[in-house]
Structure 1
């Protein structure tokens, strides 16, 4: 745990704050079109943190350019509570970058990220903080049960274990984004500028001591989940691409296999032509099939290579992860905050 003294007004970097022996804990809440949830979420967070009087709390909401009244409702909450800090993005930058910005804006000695739908229970804050006090710098919530179909549960189960085999044992199976992260890990995270971060895996890889706590995930009450099947597939692909070169290796080995099969097939047709010319096919259909097969195979592998090259291109451009249009309850101006996000 890292502690620092709060300074007035114009500090240039986020920092942990401890007053009267009470460490500051940042609660990070990414939101997008959650107008029916934000009041309920804020009340639940205040109730949960009110029971932990040995800590001070700030609530960092990152609004991913909601198109409903989410920002207006959060602004009203922030005006009544100075512990609520609000950043609204100029456009939708995606869930991962919204969470990353929340971590970079956090000032606490530790930060806890929780979704606005409250499927992850705020009552876990206490157990998370107990493990943090024991010396763990990352405490992960492990989803024991969740309200979804069996097929989706099996798919998640297989994916998490595949990702663990690809990247190593530090990735905890069935762990989501609900976690506590120590200030030391946040500072290491600030030094990494990857445009396509897979935060679950990256944070675990930066941890010195990590542990998990199992909990049951509840059903979403208001609105629908913003993670459709396509979003889940893209997140899963991002996890594989961010932590492994496996697709490139698979492309190489499959290419070798296809080349060997093609050589065997060519030898077979050559033998037919030499020893049994009367049974030899005319060749047109076979030639066309092989050509089309080769074109299709090349397209697949070029697509895989293109995904990696595209990530390299995004990396060298060094664009900011998010553009913030509005800030509420920040001591610094917008230009200062955005400069800090690039550090």
Structure 2
């Protein structure tokens, strides 16, 4: 094999799950942009156990172009582990991670490469605006606000991780051995300079989005647990507030002696229920952190591969 095939200038990693409507088109669009802006490239399609014809189409794409490589997972390993594993398997001097549904525009490959050649080790796309259903928007905005308040490093708003990462950055993060890699957070935590490129995110090209409310909640929960060590101090802060509220309720109970009806009793029950919900949330987040610590001690891989196609015989981490 030639040198460029073993170590291309650019790797584009595209995670797939039931993307039969998009996988051919995204590969064609990405190939056109990569040939225009990179000396050499590879495309890595990592499939998270699709149940439609995605894998059949990926095999056909790999057969038609050896620059297109495939990783088939044994099962669905989630939206954090599978894409990150694909990024770690890339061999390019620069690596781009993007979605298969055209919500991450291939046209940004050129601007990414330009900023990278100017010296930026990380280049990320930042949404100017996005039309999202109200429940999903509330979960997303709530997660951002919580991370901003209790996370261990700044949060980049409206950044999904779509962008370019220098080989040095990818190799550095791979050595962290994170079992639930919140990759966009890891990029910030690493301290490497991040260049931002604003863009208007288009609608999904075809098919249905996999980012439903449950998926976003799971993603946000894992991200919070992985990036917020200060959450462990949150129970103390909540205990202070709970003590103040209890004191106010005591005064209210004394005043209720002179009032008719169970107004204050009902208020106390409402506040007690709210505090109980907060305690459950805290315990849940702490449980997530303990789960991550347990998985780290197990040394579990991000994914288990069932098959690889078109990869050179060079082992990656």
Q: In which range does the TM-score fall when normalised by the shorter chain?
A: 0.7 to 0.9
SS at match of 1:145: coil
Alignment partner, residue 199 of structure 1: 183
Asked whether the equivalents of residues 138 and 204 of structure 1 are also in contact (C-alpha less than 8 Å), the reply is no
Instruction: Describe the shift of the 1:95–1:327 C-alpha distance in structure 2 as closer, same or farther (beyond 3 A).
Output: same
Alignment partner, residue 194 of structure 2: 210
Instruction: Describe the shift of the 1:39–1:303 C-alpha distance in structure 2 as closer, same or farther (beyond 3 A).
Output: closer
Alignment partner, residue 130 of structure 1: 114
Q: Aligned to 1:247, which of 225, 231, 247?
A: 231
Partner Cα separation in structure 1 for residue 291 and residue 230 of structure 2: 17
User: Are 2:283 and 1:320 aligned?
Assistant: no
Alignment partner, residue 22 of structure 2: 37
Alignment partner, residue 124 of structure 2: 140
User: What does 1:1-343 align with in structure 2 at a 5 Å threshold?
Assistant: 6=3, 17=7, 24-52=9-37, 54-149=38-133, 152=136, 156=140, 159-160=143-144, 162-167=146-151, 171-262=155-246, 299-332=280-313, 337=315, 340-341=316-317
TM-score (norm 1): 0.78
Give the drift of 1:263. Answer: 6.2
Partner Cα separation in structure 2 for residue 151 and residue 297 of structure 1: 20
Instruction: Describe the shift of the 1:161–1:36 C-alpha distance in structure 2 as closer, same or farther (beyond 3 A).
Output: same
Partner Cα separation in structure 2 for residue 289 and residue 145 of structure 1: 41
Instruction: Describe the shift of the 1:313–1:144 C-alpha distance in structure 2 as closer, same or farther (beyond 3 A).
Output: same
Give the drift of 1:313. Answer: 1.5
SS at match of 1:115: coil
Partner Cα separation in structure 1 for residue 21 and residue 278 of structure 2: 48
Deviation per residue, 1:282-329 (Å, 9 max, x gap): xxx99x979x86977765544343232222212211111100001101
Partner Cα separation in structure 1 for residue 84 and residue 106 of structure 2: 20
Deviation larger for 320-329 or 259-268: 259-268
Unaligned stretches of 5+ residues in structure 1? 9-15, 18-22, 280-284
Instruction: Describe the shift of the 1:170–1:108 C-alpha distance in structure 2 as closer, same or farther (beyond 3 A).
Output: farther
SS at match of 2:27: helix
**Residue-pair matches, total:** 308
When the two chains are superposed, the root-mean-square deviation of aligned CA atoms in Å is 3.3
Partner Cα separation in structure 1 for residue 29 and residue 4 of structure 2: 30
